[in-house]
Amino acid sequence: MTDIDAFIAGLPKAELHLHIEGSLEPELMFALAKRNGIAIPYASVEDVRTAYAFSNLQGFLDIYYAGADVLRTREDFHDLATAYFDRAAADGVLHAEIMFDPQTHTARGIAFETVIEGLLSACAQAETEHGLTSRLILCFLRHLSEAEALETLAQAEPWLDRIAAVGLDSSEVGHPPEKFARVFATARDKGLKLVAHAGEEGPPAYVYEALDILQVDRIDHGNRSLEDMTLTDRLAREDMPLTVCPLSNLKLCVIDQMEDHPIDRMLDLGLHATINSDDPAYFGGYVADNYRAVATARGLTRVQLVTLARNSFTGSFLPPEAVAAHLERIDAYVAAQP
Ligand SMILES: Nc1ncnc2[nH]cnc12
Ligand SMILES: [Zn+2]
């Protein structure tokens, strides 16, 4: 391990953009398929990994939704999230805000309760076993209708005190944030925080809509904001967190090579950028791998890495006193470095 790898592994960090369904490793996919007696269209773990070559977001989503079919019981969701938390804890993650896609499961006849109770029990266990705190973000699939999103929000009603935020994911182009104006207004009225994927493949106009119409608290990805300097100035001025996902950007061809990643440009522009893994089982790495990949390709300094880690806590939905305690942990870690 190089100095910078070790520095990244020990750096206290939060993960703010992680789809729990995207943390389904091929080994667990096979184990759950066996446990639930489900046939899957792959002969081996290697066969699955070979299939994970994507040329855009939709190509990935098709495989990702198919993979989720092995998730059937509360125990499956618990095991999925526990596997993620174990990996995250090993990567120095102290707090994780986890997205889940209930519609991917309710459309297959899996009850909302099964999904969320499995996830919540894993969240409680991660706090006991690793001291890792977490929040849940309920994402609406934007290729489905606003009425279906409202129905999903209604199903979530008994658990709203255990859901931090709602989000918007799936196929971006052709499904602008505006389509979900009423469901986000309803969620805001219920006291939920708001996030949305915007500017991953979609144009800067979608980022404006997420800000002005949905009134989000964070932008997931936001890469294409860099095409519009008026927008980047605004994002910097408003200190709007961007949950950037370098390995995802590479695998989904948002960038051609990691050497082209704009993470340091984002920091130079004063943007509140954070580093995250998005769908680590599909994109080849967890959060520390994402830090390492950009650190190596872009020659990031320790000061820049610390800024990214600080941004992850200040951009989180933790209360101010918890954020302050995490920032102190980062300071103590940095002070203890040789
Ligand atoms: N990167 C991504 N963009 C949109 N929807 C997603 N769902 C899971 N990962 C996603
Ligand atoms: Zn995402």
Residues 6+ apart with CB under 8 A from 140: 103, 148, 149, 152, 153, 166, 167, 168, 169, 180, 183
**Can you give the pLDDT at residue 237?**
98
**Can you give the pLDDT at residue 45?**
94
* pLDDT digit string, tens, across residues 298-309: 999 999 999 999
Closest C-alpha residue for ligand 1 atom 7: 170
Closest C-alpha residue for ligand 1 atom 6: 170
Q: Which residues pair with 278 in a beta bridge?
A: 18
- Does 161 appear as a known binding residue? no
Q: For the domain that residue 70 is a member of, what is the CATH number?
A: 3.20.20.140
Please name the amino acid found at residue 163.
I
* pLDDT digit string, tens, across residues 241-251: 999 999 999 99
Does the interface predicted TM-score (ipTM) exceed 0.90?
yes
Ligand 1 residue neighbourhood (C-beta within 6 Å): 19, 22, 57, 169-170, 197, 200, 248, 278-279
Closest C-alpha residue for ligand 1 atom 1: 278
Ligand 1 centre to CA of 22 (Å) is 9
**Can you give the pLDDT at residue 338?**
85
Note down the domain range covering 268.
3-335
pLDDT tens string, the chain, 338 residues long: the values are 778 999 999 999 999 999 999 999 999 999 999 999 999 999 999 999 999 999 999 999 999 999 999 999 999 999 999 999 999 999 999 999 999 999 999 999 999 999 999 999 999 999 999 999 999 999 999 999 999 999 999 999 999 999 999 999 999 999 999 999 999 999 999 999 999 999 999 999 999 999 999 999 999 999 999 999 999 999 999 999 999 999 999 999 999 999 999 999 999 999 999 999 999 999 999 999 999 999 999 999 999 999 999 999 999 999 999 999 999 999 999 999 98
Contact 280, 22 (CB under 8 A): yes
Q: Select from 169, 175, 224 the residue to mutate for testing ligand 1; criterion: most ligand atoms less than 8 Å from CB.
A: 169
What is the rounded distance in angstroms from the CA atom of residue 12 to the CA atom of residue 320?
Answer: 17
Residues 6+ apart with CB under 8 A from 56: 201, 252, 253
Question: How many separate domains does the chain show?
Answer: 1
Closest C-alpha residue for ligand 1 atom 4: 170
Give yes or no: 146 in active site.
no
**Can you give the pLDDT at residue 145?**
98
Q: Select from 279, 282, 283, 290 the residue to mutate for testing ligand 1; criterion: most ligand atoms less than 8 Å from CB.
A: 279
**Can you give the pLDDT at residue 40?**
94
pTM higher than the cut 0.95: yes
- Does 19 appear as a known binding residue? yes
**Can you give the pLDDT at residue 1?**
76
Give the chain's length: 338
- Does 105 appear as a known binding residue? no
Ligand 1 centre to CA of 141 (Å) is 9
**Can you give the pLDDT at residue 2?**
79
What is the rounded distance in angstroms from the CA atom of residue 149 to the CA atom of residue 158?
Answer: 16
Residues 6+ apart with CB under 8 A from 99: 17, 18, 19, 20, 137, 138, 139, 167, 169
Q: How far apart are the first and last CA of the chain?
A: 16
Q: Of the listed 200, 201, 321, 328, which one is catalytic? A: 200
Ligand 2 centre to CA of 17 (Å) is 6
